[in-house]
Structure 1
Amino acid sequence: MSIQAINVRNQFRGKVAAIIEGPVVSEVDVQTPAGIVTSVITTRSVKDLGLTIGSDVVALVKATEVSVAKL
Structure 2
Amino acid sequence: MKILKSAEDYLEAVLMLKEEQGYVRSIDLAEHLGVTKPSVSYAIRQLRDNGYVTMDHAKMISLTDKGMEIADRIY
TM-score (norm. length: structure 1): 0.26
Structure with the higher fraction of residues in helix conformation: 2
Larger CA Rg, structure 1 vs 2 = 1
Structure with the higher fraction of residues in strand conformation: 1
TM-score (norm. length: structure 2): 0.26
